Amino acid sequence: MPRIFWQIAKEKGPKQRQFFLFNDILVYGNILIAKKRYNKQNLIDLASCCIEDLVDDTQVRNGWLIRTPLKSFAVYAATATEKKEWMMHMQRSVHDLRIKNFVKRVARV
């Protein structure tokens, strides 16, 4: 499920990033050639990830916060619908992965 969003981190300004959502990880990176080549790809383990809604203000809209133990940053979609869909898919993936990991731990006991 690839999509281009704006990433805004506290220490850096807004940058366009390509995001790919999988069942257990979120991959994002710089766009070199549209839909063909990316670099500086980063991986986020969804099991350790939290997703928080950001309220729209006069300067930015359609955003949410991605929190991990090592890094947190805001992501902004082009539309409210795109934001809603991605937040829903990410939250579902995080939830499903945590349940799966819990069941594995219980089965080992």
Q: In Å, what is the CA distance from 26 to each residue of 23, 52, 60, 93? A: 8, 15, 23, 10
pLDDT at residue 66 greater than cutoff 90: yes
Predicted confidence at residue 105, as pLDDT, reads 74
pLDDT digits (tens, 9 = 90+) for 3-27: 677 777 666 678 888 898 998 999 8
pLDDT at residue 42 greater than cutoff 70: yes
Global pTM reads 0.79
Please give the mean pLDDT across all residues of the chain. 84
